Amino acid sequence: MFFQKEIETMPRKELEALQLAKLKETVAYCYNKVPFYHQKLTEAGVGDGSRIRQLSDVQYIPFTTKEDFRNNYPFGLNAAPMKDIVRIHASSGTTGKPTVGVYTKKDIDVWSDCVARVAVAGGVTDEDIIQISFGYGLFTGALGLHFGLEKIGATVIPASSGNTEKQMMMFRDFGVTGLVATPSYALYLSEAVKEAGYPLSDYSLRLGILGSEPCTPEMRAQIEANLGIYVSDNYGMTELGGPGVSGDCPERDGMHFAEDHFLPEIIDSATGERLREGGKGELVVTTLSRQGMPVLRYRTKDITSITYEPCPCGRTHARMSKTAGRTDDMMIIKGVNVFPTQIESVLVGMPYIGPHYQIVLRRVNFRDTLEIRVELADAELLERYQELQELQRSMHDRLKSVLGLEAKVTLVQPKTLERFQGKAKRILDLRNEPQA
């Protein structure tokens, strides 16, 4: 149940004292080693951090944004010389230059510890055989989980993503007990397992460690039902070093931060003001242990909340709720804020429909419209017009109640919407396309 029990159950006052000491060290380190931070900290009047006397003083440190990473591409935010760097990772860079992360040997060791905590809390032991179906490469997810799982002593299969038939063959032949994947790919695999014709008794799967994108409770329940497994979630990103920043405990009531390595805050994304405990806003994180590329007050754009209430599992580290979306994937439609996770929570688990959907945005007569395309689970329903109408009406009404606006619901034939082996891309925004 614990990987580093003494740290994970550290009394709150001791944990905060440790965080304060490490925050001061990190600010001084950034001030002295990174010209970008030296200038920012000087301009903000923070200097080398000697004026930081309590954790709340973190609010006087300037934010770091994704633009700062792009403007300092590739190594402008490095604090350690390249001779001390043993690994380079990067984001996909689909919207421009990739976000780069560099690691010293100590960084890799700390990262592995954080991932091992998440995995053990999710039920992994040294007797498990874990298949990693993340894509290997510059993406932090695969190698991050790989090293953390090996540190526990689990057997790791670096399957990478894709080749679903081979993935299922390895499940059966290698006695795989655990799956690491994005929720989207885990859902796709779970459907493939059902359709392959082998009984679940031919599989040894018992748990899933999912991450890299949000997983709603409804999607988690669908994956668990399809594969007969227990699923836990974890959180991380390239800018913060990868997965292992936080993760589910057995209670699954918020993901515990590795607070000895990360200092989380919640802010109002519009004003930048810090919110009180329990307030929902944008997550901001300061790294407390990184040598290669420390980060001060990184604006993640992820929307969540944090609680410091004691957890029944015994862990004392703060818990973040499942992310409600990102400030940059929030859709504003007719003045209403809409997140894909809201739509997914309505659709997943409804009878007669599959778990795959697509959101289509258009602009008609200078007004935004929202269409939601949803796959049917059984094509025969297309021939039962009355039932089809009732299902469409029910989905429309539920979506209107949750979203607060009208949405057109289009039911499509099974297996006609795109499947994803990595992060799902469900939004098709046609609002800037010429009108027919």
* 93 has pLDDT over 70: no
> Cα angle at 78 between 42 and 37, to 5 degrees?
10
End position of a domain, from candidates 290, 323, 356: 323
Q: Tell me: the pLDDT tens digits for 22-32?
A: 999 999 999 99
Query: For 385-404, how does the pLDDT look when each residue is reduced to its tens digit (9 = 90+)?
Result: 888 889 999 999 989 888 88
Looking at the structure, tell me whether residues 149 and 254 fall in a common domain.
yes
Same domain, 179 and 199: yes
CATH code, domain carrying 413: 3.30.300.30
Q: How far apart are CA 380 and CA 383, in angstroms?
A: 6
Question: pLDDT (tens digit, 9 = 90+) per residue, 408-436?
Answer: 999 998 889 887 766 777 888 888 776 55
Q: 367-376 and 408-412 as β-strands: parallel, antiparallel, unpaired?
A: parallel
Q: What is the DSSP string of 255-270?
A: EEE-TTTEEEEEE-TT
For 412, the domain range is 331-429
**What's this model's pTM, rounded to 2 decimal places?**
0.83
Residues 108 and 235 in one domain: yes
pLDDT: is 316 or 95 the higher one?
Answer: 316
**18-72, pLDDT tens digit by residue?**
999 999 999 999 999 999 999 999 999 999 999 899 999 999 999 999 999 999 9
CATH of residue 139's domain is 3.40.50.12780
What's CA 232's distance to the chain center, in Å? 12
Q: Specify the number of domains making up the chain.
A: 2
Q: Are 89 and 100 in contact (CB under 8 A)?
A: yes
Q: Are residues 71 and 151 in the same domain?
A: yes
366 pLDDT band, cuts 50/70/90, is: low
Q: Are residues 145 and 227 in the same domain?
A: yes
Same domain, residue pair 180 and 136: yes
Report CA-CA distances (Å) from 123 to 4, 208, 257, 329, 405. Answer: 14, 9, 17, 32, 41
Domain-embedded: residue 165: yes
Q: Residue 434 domain-assigned? A: no
Average pLDDT over residues 161-173: 94
